[in-house]
Amino acid sequence: MQLYFIRHGQSANNQLNELTGSDRGRSHDPELTVTGRQQARLLGDFLCLSLENSIGDDRDFQNRRGFGLTHLYCSFMLRAVATGAYLAEALNLPLVAWKDWHENGGIYLDNEITGEPEGLPGNNRTFFEAHYPGLLLPDWLDDKGWWNRPYEVYEERLPRARRVLAELLQRHGGTDHHVAVVSHGGFYNDFLAALNGLDREPRAWFTMNNTAISRVDFIDQRVDVVYSDRMDFLPAELIT
């Protein structure tokens, strides 16, 4: 299996932080910006490079012959769903929602009085069916919202990453599948910690820019991080 971990396009919260250096006024579930939508379109074009002979014994370390993607997932957060929708259209692949790839903390806003983060419901089945009819949803999602729980605290994040890794291997381990997942920069660090068998996040922060690609190959019992934070498909003015 080859995994392509993709960060979503620039969100309104990303833009807010870039312009103000603060999260004050952040959205609990931000949409893509104009820049984010441009990034997603260019990413879709890039992933559609020639697929001829892209799956085989030759690992093609820089995907010069293409990506040959066979599966496409996204988290339930709007910025990931919207990015994934562009990719699904470009690649002609079904987009499957997978809850546990969400960003750290989940869906929340800080209480204006206490300053403490409080969990919110998140979007429900009716919302997604109306706005993203091509998104494949799990049977358990109803009209109560996909999150609908308290803020995810620090201690819950690495166990979630381990759970994601275990399920990913259950679904695709030992296959020649090329799996793309649109997820989030914070969770990327927890996922790397899970890959490395760590008990906590790495001491170093592994940056992922918007719509950047990181490739991880699973070969027998070995895990090979082939590249990380790849953005050569974006012009300089669109790197965020």
16-27 in b/e form (b: 16+ CB < 10 A) is beeeeeeeeebe
Nearest to 152 by CA among 118, 123, 185: 118
First-last CA distance in the chain: 29
Domain count, the chain: 1
- At residue 101, the pLDDT reads 98
Nearest to 179 by CA among 74, 96, 70: 70
HSE value, Cβ hemisphere, 13 Å, CA-based, for 224? 10
Cβ atoms within 10 Å of 57's Cβ, excluding its own: 5
- At residue 88, the pLDDT reads 98
pTM: 0.94
Cα–Cα distance list, 21 to 14, 17, 24, 191, 229 (Å): 10, 5, 9, 26, 22
- At residue 55, the pLDDT reads 53
Question: Domain limits at 52?
Answer: 2-238
CATH at 191 = 3.40.50.1240
Task: Quote the strand ranges of the chain, DSSP E.
Answer: 2-7, 71-74, 95-97, 108-110, 117-119, 135-136, 178-183, 213-219, 222-230
Contact 157, 184 (CB under 8 A): no
Give the pLDDT of the chain (240 residues) as one tens digit per residue.
999 999 999 999 899 888 887 777 789 999 999 999 999 999 999 999 765 554 555 788 999 889 999 999 999 999 999 999 999 999 999 999 999 999 999 999 999 899 899 999 999 999 999 999 999 999 999 999 999 999 999 999 999 999 999 999 999 999 999 999 999 999 999 999 999 988 777 778 999 999 999 999 999 888 999 999 999 999 999 999
C-alpha span between 110 and 92 (Å, rounded): 39
Nearest to 144 by CA among 127, 130, 132, 131: 127
- At residue 57, the pLDDT reads 53
